[in-house]
Amino acid sequence: MTMSSLSSNPYKGTRDWYPEDKRVQNYIFKVWRETAESFGYEEYGAPLLEPIEVYAAKSGQELVNEQTYVFTDRGERTVAIRPEMTPTISRMVAARRQEMAYPARLYSIANFMRYERPQRGREREFWQLNLDLFGVESVLADAEIITYGAQMLKRFGAKNSMFVIKINNRKVIDVMMREYLGLDEVGAQLMVKLFDRKSKISTEEFRDQAIAIFGQEAAPAGLKKISELLLTKDIESMPSELANHGAFGELRQLFVELKKTKVTNAVFDITLMRGLDYYTGTVFEFFDTDPENNRSLFGGGRYDGLVGLFGAEPISAVGMAPGLTTTELFLKSHDLLPDMTSTTEAYVITLSEELRDQASKLANDLRAEGVRVELDITGRKLDKQLKTALKKKIPFLVFIGHDEVEKEVYTFKDTTSETEHHYSFARMVGAIKDRRRNGEDDLDTLFG
Amino acid sequence: MTMSSLSSNPYKGTRDWYPEDKRVQNYIFKVWRETAESFGYEEYGAPLLEPIEVYAAKSGQELVNEQTYVFTDRGERTVAIRPEMTPTISRMVAARRQEMAYPARLYSIANFMRYERPQRGREREFWQLNLDLFGVESVLADAEIITYGAQMLKRFGAKNSMFVIKINNRKVIDVMMREYLGLDEVGAQLMVKLFDRKSKISTEEFRDQAIAIFGQEAAPAGLKKISELLLTKDIESMPSELANHGAFGELRQLFVELKKTKVTNAVFDITLMRGLDYYTGTVFEFFDTDPENNRSLFGGGRYDGLVGLFGAEPISAVGMAPGLTTTELFLKSHDLLPDMTSTTEAYVITLSEELRDQASKLANDLRAEGVRVELDITGRKLDKQLKTALKKKIPFLVFIGHDEVEKEVYTFKDTTSETEHHYSFARMVGAIKDRRRNGEDDLDTLFG
């Protein structure tokens, strides 16, 4: 048992969330949750593990074969730590297909794991909001989910100019690949993957791979058509044989609905594919417009076929999944993260060991009023107690000395304004609650 | 890809948390969190996986070898899904040993996995609060943690008569095993495990195994001493050669402190051991007193040696870990779970498809006032929309018809009191917010 050299580092690709980091995480979770509930979404929870088959069906080869934490359990079952939530919530809806009330609006905030090359914004254990609407076939549901995404970013204080929403539709993609570009099923699948990687590869590489998919003979005409497509900025500027196709009906209606909910920064993007195999209609992705940080924030889409895989009647579904890390990077790069102090509101400092019981009583009395109070029970000198409170960023200090106990008037210090007062118990409670109310008002202003 | 027979059941030993179950979970988390923060504890988060060595050091053989979900990752590292939090938070404290402010009061609410024989109150994936206090050597810290546990149960509405807190001390256990019963180190360890299983085995089995540990010669005297010990009800009724031992000092002081914080249902129990290897001082366990449900609720203790294993200076630590499932069973058996409706406060029902945009505007206006609103966008008949809202247990219904839109007076139904009103927008908001405030007051009364 000579274990003195155990590493104190977290496991590769995971993070330790100390209170100062957890506060930021909790702030993001809070805004996600409040926005979701304001639209009538109800929270659910789900198992950490699923049998691998749940993902093998529709999540795509790369995710299952290369990125999933998969292992054999003690009962010889092959299980995965969930790499995403969509198959799980589809399974859950299938299991209660008959009993549930439709439309079902559901959200969860949970952790996931994937093997990823560690890089900025990508960790192996990551947190996501999942927001899904089951049982509405019309694009009104797609519009609601996208509107949620825009509202959520606005609650964080984002302006329309800070993000853009790119939208496409799997039915349109299918028509484009099969009818317009003339590809067969395998060719179409390869071309979708190629479009998906377009921003990550060079123009030459894109061209070479496109030629390989078309074949030498069909390549010149195919490439010409792709160049034309890449130049289109909206549906109406598409080649007319495409723009007039019925598959564009949903897209057109979606943009009409988004205008009604004042989502004005949504654009049609024919190159947007979304990698996962289960999408069947609308797909969309939110992007940061900051040129230094021009990354995808999050995305989602319609996946009408997934619930049916679990032996239930199919049910239409549309959803999205914003991630914690990209949201945090977005908020930081646009300077939208508020200053955060400790959740603890007051630190009780005892000036003499004899007064320990009186200090403990005062702390309990404050707690009974709903105040969040830490009591120093170390018996250390004043300066050490003070240092602890300041290091923890606790906004108020209460000092208990003989004078204070006798007169029931307390030395009360506001560490943010650096002012000192001599307050009765009731005034202290009042000052602490005023600060809490002001904090909530600040948030309300953001949300207004 | 013929996957039509995918099972819709959750993975063995895990649970799907549908909104009605998640509400109960969230209520318990809320009370845990509010009580923790009222004592100045700050929330942290931690990785889902840890290298197996983290547990191998001190968590005990059974937990590591038989109960842990362990696997080899793609980088050939042997990792475990966390079966408990104490080693992780000790690692985290060790990693920031120099920078942290002490005393550090830390809590987390997280999920864990262990292979357990599935039974009532035991699932393979389970949720726990972990509450730990680092950097206070005195039993004042032990008293604070135990007081937290009692306060937390009281915030749920529990009376003192509903639970009892059994307390012991590892130093006392050591003196009892080594000096009083005369066992060697191996014998003492075996006897601790035997005491730990005492309530799960028959008196004969306990006797037989005790004899095996003592050996035939020493057994008669040893058994006599154990019978005497089992009859003691408090420290003072212990055999005097034990009661006067210095090891009892901490225990005596702890009971004095608990009296000050009005924890009157704590008792000394010489048979309480706590299985984990890392405890060094006070150990305690909360028990349900309901004879039909006479189970351990949760426990904890002092573990001063754990942080030092991670290459840092040792630091004193004491903590506890209440579980979700046992807490839920306790609340149910004592009828302490409040009725819970949906988090959604209002359901907007559209009486005619033509009014869809007006209904959508009203829903958004309510949201801007902070109300949680679900809008029915299905275009279904009135009775179907109504059925959905009632099934979801949403407290208020707002009906949008031509009359309502014209007069700006809305048909507003309270589903809990089954009353119907004709309200202006402002009165609706008022009624919804009144209900919310009353709900919070109910909770405040519990907490008072």
pLDDT at A400: 96
Chain B residues with beta carbon closer than 8 angstroms to that of A441: none
Q: Which residues pair with B284 in a beta bridge?
A: B167, B300
Reported as type and span, the H/E element at residue B168 is: strand B163-169
Chain A residues with beta carbon closer than 8 angstroms to that of B357: 260
Kindly report the nearest CA distance between residue B231 and chain A, in angstroms: 34
CA distance B222 to B29: 46
Q: pLDDT tens digits, residue range B382-425?
A: 999 999 999 999 999 999 999 999 999 999 999 999 999 999 99
Q: pLDDT tens digits, residue range A100-124?
A: 999 999 999 999 999 987 677 779 9
Per-residue pLDDT, averaged over A351-372, amounts to 95
pLDDT at A16: 97
Kindly report the nearest CA distance between residue B79 and chain A, in angstroms: 9
CB contact at 8 A, B348 and B400:
yes
Question: Is residue B242 predicted with pLDDT exceeding 90?
Answer: no
Chain B residues with beta carbon closer than 8 angstroms to that of A42: 19, 22, 342-344, 392
CB contact under 8 A, A6 and B106: no
pLDDT at A441: 60
Question: Is residue A310 predicted with pLDDT exceeding 60?
Answer: yes
Find, in chain A, the residue whose alpha carbon is nearest to that of B277: A1
Confidence class for position A442, pLDDT limits 50, 70, 90? low
Which residues 281-320 of chain B have a CB within 8 Å of chain A? 308-312
CB contact under 8 A, A311 and B8: yes
Question: Is residue A24 predicted with pLDDT exceeding 90?
Answer: yes
CB contact under 8 A, B95 and A16: yes
pLDDT at B445: 45
Question: Is residue B46 predicted with pLDDT exceeding 60?
Answer: yes
CB contact under 8 A, B4 and A69: no
Question: Is residue A1 predicted with pLDDT exceeding 70?
Answer: no
CA distance B441 to A393: 30
Nearest to B14 among A48, A56, A111 (CB): A48
Question: Is residue B446 predicted with pLDDT exceeding 50?
Answer: no
Q: Which two tokens stand for residue A335?
A: 């300077």
CA distance A11 to A176: 45
CB contact under 8 A, A135 and B96: no
What values do phi and psi take at A199, rounded to 5? -75, -15
Q: Which two tokens stand for residue B298?
A: 């949760």
pLDDT at B286: 97
Q: Which residues pair with B49 in a beta bridge?
A: B81
pLDDT at B399: 97
Kindly report the nearest CA distance between residue B344 and chain A, in angstroms: 5
Judged by average pLDDT, the poorest of A334-343, B25-34, B224-233 is B224-233
Output B237 or B325, whichever has higher pLDDT. Answer: B325
Q: Report the relative pairing of strands B104-113 and B42-43 from DSSP bridges.
A: parallel
Q: pLDDT tens digits, residue range A120-152?
A: 777 999 999 999 999 999 999 999 999 999 999
Q: How many Cβ pairs within 8 Å bridge chains A and B?
A: 258
Computed on alpha carbons and rounded to an integer, the radius of gyration of chain B in Å comes to: 28
Kindly report the nearest CA distance between residue A222 and chain B, in angstroms: 30
Q: pLDDT tens digits, residue range B71-90?
A: 999 889 999 999 999 999 99
pLDDT at B311: 85
Q: pLDDT tens digits, residue range A239-257?
A: 888 888 888 899 999 999 9
CB contact at 8 A, A163 and A338:
no
Nearest to A47 among B125, B141, B371 (CB): B125
Q: pLDDT tens digits, residue range A161-188?
A: 999 999 999 999 999 999 999 999 999 9
Q: Does A137 touch chain B (CB under 8 A)?
A: no
Reported as type and span, the H/E element at residue B348 is: strand B346-350
CB contact under 8 A, B4 and A49: no
* Percent share of chain A, pLDDT over 70: 96
Per-residue pLDDT, averaged over B366-388, amounts to 96
Question: Is residue B17 predicted with pLDDT exceeding 70?
Answer: yes
On the CB side of B217, CA atoms within 13 Å amount to: 2
Confidence class for position A59, pLDDT limits 50, 70, 90? low
Nearest to B141 among A42, A47, A377 (CB): A377
Q: pLDDT tens digits, residue range B268-309?
A: 998 898 876 789 999 999 999 988 777 899 999 999 988 999
Q: Which two tokens stand for residue B404?
A: 């309502």
Domains present along chain B, CATH in parentheses: 19-333 (3.30.930.10), 346-447 (3.40.50.800)
Count of beta carbons in the 10 Å neighbourhood of residue A5: 9
Find, in chain B, the residue whose alpha carbon is nearest to that of A384: B102
Chain B residues with beta carbon closer than 8 angstroms to that of A6: 53-54, 57, 91, 309-311
CA distance A148 to A371: 34
Kindly report the nearest CA distance between residue A112 and chain B, in angstroms: 9
CB contact under 8 A, B103 and A377: yes
What values do phi and psi take at A377, rounded to 5? -110, 20
CB contact under 8 A, A310 and B6: yes
Which residues 419-448 of chain A have a CB within 8 Å of chain B? 444, 447-448
Per-residue pLDDT, averaged over A32-37, amounts to 97
CB contact under 8 A, B377 and A140: yes
Q: Which residues pair with A323 in a beta bridge?
A: A128
Q: Report the relative pairing of strands B49-51 and B78-81 from DSSP bridges.
A: antiparallel
CB contact under 8 A, B44 and A9: no
* CB contact burial A333-355 (16+ within 10 A = b; e otherwise): ebebeeeebbbbbbbbbbbeeeb
Question: Is residue A154 predicted with pLDDT exceeding 70?
Answer: yes
The mean predicted confidence, pLDDT, of chain B is 91
Which residues 389-408 of chain A have a CB within 8 Å of chain B? 391-392, 394
Torsion of CA A59, A64, A69, A72, to 10 degrees: 110
What values do phi and psi take at A241, rounded to 5? -65, -25
Q: Does B46 touch chain A (CB under 8 A)?
A: yes
pLDDT at B59: 66
CA distance B168 to B347: 54
CA A322, A153, B16 angle in degrees (round to 5)?
Answer: 35
Chain B residues with beta carbon closer than 8 angstroms to that of A9: 95
Find, in chain A, the residue whose alpha carbon is nearest to that of B78: A11
CB burial of residue A279 (10 Å; 0-12, 13-18, 19+): buried
Kindly report the nearest CA distance between residue B346 and chain A, in angstroms: 8
Q: Which of B320, B325, B328 is nearest to B302 (CA)?
A: B320
pLDDT at B238: 85
Q: Does B260 touch chain A (CB under 8 A)?
A: yes
- pTM: predicted TM-score of the whole model, two decimal places: 0.94
CB contact under 8 A, B48 and A113: yes
pLDDT at A238: 84
Question: Is residue B349 predicted with pLDDT exceeding 50?
Answer: yes
pLDDT at B442: 56
Would you call B384 helix, strand, or coil by DSSP? helix
pLDDT at B122: 79
Kindly report the nearest CA distance between residue A275 and chain B, in angstroms: 18
* Percent share of chain B, pLDDT over 90: 78
Count of beta carbons in the 10 Å neighbourhood of residue A93: 25
Q: Which two tokens stand for residue B437?
A: 């405030």
Question: Is residue A447 predicted with pLDDT exceeding 80?
Answer: no
CB contact under 8 A, B6 and A54: yes
Question: Is residue A218 predicted with pLDDT exceeding 80?
Answer: yes
CB contact at 8 A, B191 and B175:
no
Chain A residues with beta carbon closer than 8 angstroms to that of B75: 12
